[in-house]
Chains A and B, each alone.
Chain A
Amino acid sequence: MAHENSRIRVTDINGVMRVEFVDRDILDEASIRRISTELVQRIEAAANPQVLICFRGVEHLSSAALGTLITVNSLAKKRGGQLRLSDIRPSILEVFVITKLNKLFHISDTAEKALEGFGKV
């Protein structure tokens, strides 16, 4: 599933869709819309989608990006899968805590720990 000018890198790790961001800032609305469309397409194409979004290298995140994460989380659950997040730097983790979205998402310190959560390590 190739996407032109994609702002994410997607790799398969033992059935887990691991997603990383190309950009350090996830702020621009057009980019966020493109990321959302691609993720939704990929998740809708998978049965029981296991999705790991790794934030390594990401320095800024807007509320619009949080909205995309919520949409992806709901869709993954609806399709019998799950979403996990990892490698979130402290300044961005604070955004999750302020919005209390740390209660909604499974957040791990590292991708390896998140993969353990999927039972894939």
Chain B
Amino acid sequence: MTASREGHDEGSSRLKEISSELEKFQGHIEGVLAQFDYCAAAQFAMRLSLEEAMMNGFRHGNRQDASKSVEVRWSISSDSATFHVTDEGEGFDPEAVPDPTLDENLEIPSGRGLMLIRAYMSEACYHGPGNHLEMTFRKSTPHD
């Protein structure tokens, strides 16, 4: 579901299957971002962040339960792009995730998705019990 008006694009999508549906969704968002003149680096940042957020939702939130879905809502203008990613899981405490950049954690193969989102997006915060991530990319930040 998507709605465009001058200077703004917003919509939502409910994904039940990660591989093909996510690729199609990313393709749609890339097209919208290009339409609003987001540069390649900005598009890279948002593609990576969306990938990580959706993967976290499917894998950790929904625990790969095929009967559950991940919903993403977006609102994109020429200044900023905001995404809400909500899974059907019980949520989690983002502050309890160990810092993967500490020397003692460098060889742990998981736990880097959230830190990449925080690094690449201008803002990222969880709502509710921790199953709803809101993240925003602003063109005015050094990313773009």
Contact = CB atoms under 8 A, between A and B. Distances in A.
B34 interface: no
Nearest to B47: A60
Nearest to A71: B109
Contacts of B103: 103
B51 A27 contact: yes
Interface of B: 18-19, 22-23, 40-41, 44, 47-48, 51-52, 55, 59, 100-101, 103, 106-110, 112-113, 115-116, 119
5 contacts: A28-B18, A29-B19, A62-B55, A62-B113, A104-B107
Interface stretch (A1-9, A50-58, A94-102): A94-102
Interface in A33-80: 60, 62-64, 66-68, 70-71, 73-74
The secondary structure that dominates the A interface is helix
Given A98-B119, A99-B101, A62 B51 contact: yes
Interface of A: 27-30, 60, 62-64, 66-68, 70-71, 73-74, 91, 95, 98-101, 103-104
B101 A100 contact: yes
A27 B55 CA distance: 10
A77 to B, nearest CB: 10
Contacts of A67: 109-110, 112
A103 B106 contact: yes
A107 B40 CA distance: 24
Contacts of B101: 99-100
A64 B55 contact: yes
